[in-house]
């Protein structure tokens, strides 16, 4: 009788170990899945931030280039635009000065964007 109880106890103990092992294994699998999903979410958020930053920079460049191109063409027109400090220069020289300023601005914007710190 004692032998039968010992065997039954060992069987119950072995069953408990199997159940605990399976539970731990399922927890590890679930934790791994959750970690992968969190990592993918972070990557997606970074990608979205990168896209938004690129869009902001492109809009900024577009707006400023449009405004500067308007000003570059202005020396060839007549009107109040000649109140600029270089109003006595010939039109081609005025356009050259303005477009040079715009190129410097483009260099500043592209240099300060910090795009190299984002993954592509």
Binned at pLDDT 50, 70 and 90, residue 104 comes out as low
Q: In this structure, are residues 98 and 113 in contact, taking their beta carbons and an 8 Å threshold? A: no
14 or 98, which is more confident = 14
User: Domain boundaries in the chain?
Assistant: 9-117
| pLDDT, position 4 | 81
Q: What is the pLDDT of residue 74?
A: 62
Which H or E element spans position 69?
helix 2-73
Higher pLDDT among residues 76 and 118, named by residue: 76
Average pLDDT rounded to a whole number, residues 87-106: 61
Q: What pLDDT sits at residue 3?
A: 80
- Cβ-in-10-Å burial (0-12, 13-18, 19+) of 102 comes to middle
Mapping DSSP to helix (H, G, I), strand (E, B) and coil, where does residue 33 land? helix
* CA-CA-CA-CA torsion sign (6, 11, 15, 20): positive
Residue with the larger pLDDT of the pair 120 and 55 = 55
Confidence of residue 116 (pLDDT cuts 50, 70, 90): very low
Q: Is the pTM of this model over 0.75?
A: no
């Amino acid at each position: 009788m004692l032998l039968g109880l010992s065997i039954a106890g060992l069987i119950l103990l072995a069953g408990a170990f199997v159940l605990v092992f399976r539970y731990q294994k399922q927890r590890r699998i679930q934790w791994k899945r959750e970690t992968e999903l969190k990592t993918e979410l972070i990557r997606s958020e970074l990608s979205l931030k990168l896209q938004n930053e690129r869009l902001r920079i492109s809009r900024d460049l577009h707006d400023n280039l449009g405004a500067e191109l308007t000003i570059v063409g202005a020396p060839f027109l007549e009107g109040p635009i000649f109140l600029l400090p270089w109003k006595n220069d010939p039109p081609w020289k005025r356009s050259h000065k303005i477009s040079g300023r715009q190129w410097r601005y483009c260099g500043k914007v592209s240099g300060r964007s910090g795009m190299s710190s984002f993954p592509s």
